[in-house]
């Protein structure tokens, strides 16, 4: 079983920003991180008021589905810089397979959003917060 590297903390990883390395990460890796960040954001947004776990779970799942992520990307697209739009294109073009239940265009848009979120999480968390706030506005 793989283990985490000893002595590496989340805080240390976030403080030692190696922007050159972040810029070379594949869109698939950025989407992998972005998926986790987006789900945590949505879970946090639905945290209050307290409710049954099943209700909470259903609301979160509805928001992190590919269809909802594609709509979220469409909502924030007017706010994106050219560099961010390029990153979204890279994320879209990296998709090679798609779940059968989804149209490829929807899955590509969802992956694009996750790629953007992953990149901004690692490179510019303040910008990420701006875009996430635009989603709830």
35 is catalytic: yes
First vs last Cα of the chain: how many Å apart?
44
C-beta contacts of 44-50 below 8 A and 24+ residues apart = 45/136
User: Residue 89: which of 65, 122, 115 has the closest Cα?
Assistant: 115
Among candidate residues 18, 35, 55, 86, the one labeled active-site is 35
- Pair of tokens at residue 123: 């490179």
CA geometry: angle at 95 spanning 93 and 98, to 5°?
A: 145
CB 116 within 8 A of CB 34: yes
Residues with a catalytic annotation lie at 35
């Amino acid at each position: 079983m793989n283990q985490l590297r000893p002595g590496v903390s989340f805080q240390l990883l976030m403080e030692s920003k190696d922007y050159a390395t972040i810029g070379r990460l594949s869109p698939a890796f950025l989407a992998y991180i972005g998926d986790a960040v987006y789900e945590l954001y949505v879970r946090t947004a639905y945290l209050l008021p307290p409710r049954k776990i099943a209700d909470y779970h259903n609301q979160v799942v509805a928001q992190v589905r590919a269809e909802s992520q594609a709509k979220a990307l469409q909502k924030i697209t007017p706010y994106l810089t050219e560099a961010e739009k390029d990153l979204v294109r890279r994320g879209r073009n990296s998709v090679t397979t798609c779940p059968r239940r989804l149209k490829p265009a929807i899955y590509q848009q969802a992956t694009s959003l996750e790629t953007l979120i992953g990149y901004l999480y690692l490179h510019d968390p303040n910008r990420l917060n701006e875009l996430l706030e635009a989603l709830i506005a």
